[in-house]
């Protein structure tokens, strides 16, 4: 067997199993304690982000569920379905509180206003609807698009709603009156993703025409056309400080752009298939990308360096999200599984030059942190328990595991084996 060089990677903390069809969307509650997932199996599931336990299965939809969102106070969950409805659920009990009926085609996207009083939904019936989250009443039907509406989002102050459509436009609406304020024209193919900058002054749109566009949210003027992708762009996000824009493309890359100048700053290469979702960590230091190549990747937003490749899914990954404190990453996949990953302090194995493990009976394993041995700083640990403190000369530059046996590759060139009996 040739030498194995163990590269840097990170383990999955939790594998959330229970869905019986692909998982399309995943989101953390505002306090980070819950994870909601939306699936093709017609259900939404609520999970404990700390333990991975399934807390509630929200049943009632009669077709796929494509989008899910928490209200700002975390008490409500909204879900959008191919059955033409939006449902509101109590996050604590899982009870179905309201069924919002009115759309005449599948609903692709759902969002709460910043104050939690409104719900916006985007549908294949070419409309956006605004609903009262307390009563479920339909308040406004926003008409003007001429093709499916894929994405809807509120501005940070809640006064505007932006919608992205297959009709190649983004529209801006008054959330109180439902009036159409601006039609943002310029894309030459469908628009699938839209986002507001944190200050609400900019709108970013991602299109199959291979571009991202930046618009003035007040005037509707096109400010920048961000060119560089060589295939359709499916997701766009602003950094928390608004200075960066990240875009995910079918060309297998993520790009980082300067939102002020439109300059391309970094091209993040590594994925081997379409990249479907992109997100910034709350501190803006990390970018997470989800790909059809079955992986999530974490990148340094400043340098563009690849920090981690999160492997474990067995089908394409469609959605990725950070918890509010940035410590966890959630990913939703076609393998019917949601995974939770530790973005900073999970199991990371570093490789340096000439650190090799040659034993044919050892291999690097993808670990579950609840029951597996791993190295964390100067400790050998199992789950959250510290088992053995490692003196400086025994702190490895790379490691490999099999059952209760650890091989430590040391800076001295030696390989040490440690077995545990418990």
Looking at per-residue pLDDT, the higher value among 123 and 390 belongs to 123
pLDDT at 282 over 60: yes
Taking 70 as the threshold, does the pLDDT of residue 272 lie above it? Answer: yes
Confidence of residue 271 (pLDDT cuts 50, 70, 90): very high
For the purposes of burial, counting CB atoms within 10 Å of the CB of 49, is it exposed (0-12), middle (13-18) or buried (19 or more)? buried
Dihedral, CA of residue 242, residue 249, residue 204 and residue 190, to nearest 10: -170
| Residues whose CB is less than 8 angstroms from the CB of residue 383 and which lie 6 or more positions away in sequence, other chains included | 369, 370, 371, 372
With 80 as the cut, is the pLDDT of residue 216 above it?
yes
Tokens of 369: 């942190």
List, for residues 73-95, the tens digit of each pLDDT value. Answer: 999 999 999 999 999 999 999 99
Whole-number percent of the chain with pLDDT over 90: 67
Of residues 6, 53, 7, 19, the one with CA closest to residue 319: 19
Are 209 and 169 in contact, with CB atoms under 8 Å apart?
A: no
pLDDT tens digits for 331-384?
Answer: 988 888 888 887 874 332 222 222 222 222 222 222 333 445 666 667 777 666
Dist. CA 2–CA 407, nearest whole Å: 17
Nearest CA-CA partner of 163 in 203, 106, 115? 203
Q: What is the pLDDT of residue 401?
A: 56
Inform me whether the pLDDT recorded for 300 exceeds 80. yes
* Per-residue pLDDT band at 37 (split at 50, 70, 90): very high
Question: Structure tokens of 413?
Answer: 């060139």
**17 vs 96: CA distance, rounded Å:** 22
Residue reference for tokens 């297998």? 252
Give the least confident one: 49-53, 136-140, 151-155, 261-265: 49-53
3-state DSSP assignment of residue 394: helix
Tokens of 172: 């801006």
Residue 403 pLDDT grade (very low, low, confident, very high; cuts 50, 70, 90): low
CA torsion sign for 290, 292, 295, 301 is: negative
User: Measured between alpha carbons, how far is 156 from 370 in angstroms, rounded to an integer?
Assistant: 38
Q: What is the pLDDT of residue 240?
A: 97
Task: Using pLDDT thresholds of 50, 70 and 90, give the confidence band for residue 99.
Answer: very high
- pTM exceeds 0.75, yes or no: yes
**139: which residues sit within 8 A by CB, 6+ positions away?**
118, 130, 131, 132, 178
344 vs 202, higher pLDDT: 202
- Kindly list the structural domains of the chain, giving each domain's residue range(s) and its CATH number in brackets, ordered by start: 12-342 (2.130.10.10), 350-422 (no CATH)
């Amino acid at each position: 067997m040739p030498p194995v060089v163990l590269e840097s990677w990170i383990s999955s903390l939790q594998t959330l199993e229970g869905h019986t069809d692909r998982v399309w969307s995943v989101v953390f509650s505002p306090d980070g304690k819950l994870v909601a997932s939306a699936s093709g199996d017609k259900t939404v599931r609520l999970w404990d982000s700390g333990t991975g336990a399934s807390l509630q299965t929200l049943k009632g939809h009669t077709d796929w569920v494509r989008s899910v969102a928490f209200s700002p106070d975390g008490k409500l969950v909204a879900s959008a379905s191919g059955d033409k409805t939006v449902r509101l659920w109590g996050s604590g009990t899982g009870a179905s509180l309201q069924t919002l009926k009115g759309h005449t085609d599948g609903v692709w996207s759902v969002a709460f206003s910043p104050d939690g009083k409104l719900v916006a939904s985007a549908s294949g019936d070419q409309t956006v609807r605004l609903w009262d989250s307390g009563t479920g009443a339909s308040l406004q039907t926003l008409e003007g698009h001429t093709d499916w509406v894929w994405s809807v989002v509120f501005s940070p102050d809640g006064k505007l709603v932006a919608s992205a459509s297959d009709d190649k436009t983004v529209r801006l609406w008054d959330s109180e009156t439902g009036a159409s304020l601006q039609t943002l024209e310029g894309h030459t193919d469908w628009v699938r993703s839209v986002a507001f900058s944190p200050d609400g002054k900019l709108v970013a749109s991602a299109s199959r025409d291979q571009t991202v566009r930046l618009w003035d949210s007040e005037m509707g003027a096109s400010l920048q056309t961000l060119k560089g992708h060589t295939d359709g762009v499916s997701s766009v996000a602003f950094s928390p400080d608004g200075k960066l824009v990240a875009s995910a493309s079918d060309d297998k890359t993520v790009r980082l752009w300067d939102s002020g100048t439109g300059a391309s700053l970094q091209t993040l290469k590594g994925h081997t298939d379409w990249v479907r979702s992109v997100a910034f960590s709350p501190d803006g230091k990390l970018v997470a990308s989800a790909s059809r190549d079955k992986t999530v990747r974490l990148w340094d937003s400043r340098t563009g360096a690849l920090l981690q490749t999160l492997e474990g899914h067995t089908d394409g990954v469609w959605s990725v999200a950070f918890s509010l404190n940035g410590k966890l990453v959630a990913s939703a996949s076609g393998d019917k599984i949601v995974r939770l990953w530790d973005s900073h302090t999970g199991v990371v194995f570093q490789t340096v030059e000439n650190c090799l493990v040659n034993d044919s009976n050892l291999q690097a394993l993808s670990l579950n942190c609840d029951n597996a041995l791993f190295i964390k700083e100067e400790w050998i640990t199992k789950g959250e328990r510290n088992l053995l403190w490692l003196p400086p000369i025994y702190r490895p530059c790379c490691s490999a595991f099999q059952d209760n046996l650890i091989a430590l590759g040391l800076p001295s060139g030696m390989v040490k084996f440690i077995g545990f009996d418990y």
